[in-house]
Amino acid sequence: MLLTHAFSNTGEKIYSQQKNNYFATANERVGRSGIPVLKASLVTLCVIFFLQLLKINMKIAIFILFVFISIKLLGQQITDWSAFNQRIEVKAYEGKRFRLQAAVKVDLIDSSAEAEIWARVDRADHKRGFFYDMTDKPIRSKEWQVYTIEGRIDKGAEYLTFGGLYFRHGVFFFDDFKLSVETSRNKFEELKIPNGNFENDSLTSWDYNRQPNYFTTSVTAQTSYEGKTSLKVDGRNFKRVVKYGNNDNIGKYERVNGITLYYEEYGTGEPLLLLHGNSQSIEAFTYQIPEFSKHYRVIAVDTRGQGKSTENGKTYRYDLFAEDMNALLNHLNLDSVNVVGWSDGGNTGLIMAMKYPQKVKRLLTMGANIFIDTSVVSKNITDEVRRQMNIENSDTSYKANNRVRLMNMLLTEPAYKFDDLKSIGIPVLVVSGENDIIKEEHTRKIAEHIPKGKLLIASKETHDFPVDNPGRFNAVVLDFLKD
């Protein structure tokens, strides 16, 4: 989306939204809390319930849920921001331009702290129209400055919702919100915003979308842009929450096998390599890393073309993923590691154990498969993958093309035989859920063909066992590794 940025003669910063159908980032930062991984179990139950109401087969329901969690939930943890807002009815101004202004200043404690103002048109059909939140132009100035958002009120608009955003470790000040609507060509009429200048001690005119206990709001006479008081948001108690898969203090990049792999390390002791599933990232192991790192040196990796890792155009294959992991372990000077692989990660782990046996000490797979046909997953599931691919094929973006390539791998890979597993000489615990998308007979045969293989069919669990019941899953992993 193209934004123009200019300075007016008065020193105001003006941000003009040139298209009125702008949509927020994946986090849907304002007015939508996102769905933390901590709520994934509840989401699981709700989604499966509604899919069952639609008479969708349980296995397909679980598959759709797995894709949903992989692509949506795990990318939507929100831990470091909050917002305030109010809304004004704008039915009478359909198609008119509007201008939102506010004065903002920030006392930075952490250099990454930032503030923004934002505006959103809410339509009568409950769909969102214009939206812009300035997160591409974060405010970090310690001096008062006026910022402006310009846009157009959509047809069918009911309300214009607007307010302020604040992120991380800082103290944030807002003042003098003004909203104007075009009444005739280039002539704007100011609409009244209740307590828009924060001269009233009461903040009841403003709503707070989410208010973590490390942000406190008050009307203050400490500083103001206009008048005697302003809104103060005190974030001095902010504590950064670790975001696995996006930890700038820990994350590392290594150039191996023609690509750049992103990985994070936690804890000390024997190395434990974590391998995520298709279209996921390190964040998939949000429930596992804190517990495992108490006992092991956890090495969590974004597989090529996923998360923060790059790719080089080669066809995605599990053998290639295993080759990448072998190269990374060589770079880290690790002779052998324990491996936990979930879904695609389990496939990669099995191939590592076959092709690079010296590198794998113990292996636990969750929902893995060694070939793909209707004896492994139902035809309905592969049909659903193809349907999703057809939808993505209409999008010519790199991200859509990459998703298609990853889904195509689900239809063609892996391509091993049960007898190939006989070469694995290490202890392997083969795990799947009782309601897994991988058929139980396939899982049983994997375990049976590994000389030191053991089997666990986790009762009442699904393919999302590590997210749905992390306490139980983590105990299974730790018991196996310590055995």
Domain 3-31+78-234: state its class: mainly beta
- pLDDT the model gives residue 59: 52
CA Rg, the chain, in Å? 26
| Beta carbons within 10 angstroms of residue 441's beta carbon | 10
User: For 13-26, what is the mean pLDDT?
Assistant: 34
Same fold for the domain at 3-31+78-234 and the one at 252-482?
Answer: no
Per CATH, the number for 252-482 is 3.40.50.1820
- pLDDT the model gives residue 126: 84
| Beta carbons within 10 angstroms of residue 49's beta carbon | 10
Give per-residue pLDDT as tens, 57-113.
555 555 555 544 444 444 444 468 899 999 999 999 999 999 999 999 999 999 989
Instruction: Tell me the C-alpha to C-alpha distance, in Å, between residue 188 and each of 93, 100, 463.
Output: 12, 11, 56
Q: How confident is the model at residue 52 (pLDDT cuts 50, 70, 90)?
A: low
Q: How confident is the model at residue 396 (pLDDT cuts 50, 70, 90)?
A: confident
Q: Are 120 and 131 in contact (CB under 8 A)?
A: yes
Give how far the C-alpha of residue 7 lies from the chain's centroid of Cα atoms, to the nearest Å: 34
User: For 432-453, what is the mean pLDDT?
Assistant: 97
- pLDDT the model gives residue 404: 95
Average pLDDT, the chain: 86
- pLDDT the model gives residue 211: 58
DSSP designation for 139:
B
Alpha carbons 305 and 316: distance in angstroms, whole number: 9
Long-range contacts (CB closer than 8 Å, 24 or more residues apart) made by 199-206: 199/227, 199/228, 199/229, 203/231, 205/86, 206/84, 206/85, 206/86, 206/163, 206/231
Give per-residue pLDDT as tens, 198-230.
999 888 899 876 556 789 999 999 999 999 999
- Of the two residues 60 and 441, the one the predictor is more confident about is 441
3-state secondary structure 161-197: EEEEEEECCEEEEEEEEEEEEEEECCEEEEECCCCCC
- pLDDT the model gives residue 25: 33
Residue type, 64: I
Give per-residue pLDDT as tens, 244-263.
999 988 999 999 999 999 99
Give per-residue pLDDT as tens, 258-278.
999 999 999 999 999 999 999
Percent of the chain, pLDDT > 70?
Answer: 83
Residue type, 363: L
Which residues, 6+ apart, have CB-to-CB distance to 472 below 8 Å?
458, 461, 465
Q: How confident is the model at residue 450 (pLDDT cuts 50, 70, 90)?
A: very high
User: For 389-418, what is the mean pLDDT?
Assistant: 94
In this structure, of 145-154, 385-394, 434-443, the range with the lowest mean pLDDT score is 385-394
Question: For residue 24, is pLDDT > 60?
Answer: no
Residue type, 174: F
Which residues, 6+ apart, have CB-to-CB distance to 210 below 8 Å?
33, 78, 82, 83
Give per-residue pLDDT as tens, 300-321.
999 999 999 999 999 999 999 9
- pLDDT the model gives residue 57: 54
**Annotated domain spans of the chain:** 3-31+78-234, 252-482
Q: Characterise 190 by phi-psi region: left (phi > 0), alpha (psi -120 to 50), beta (else).
A: beta
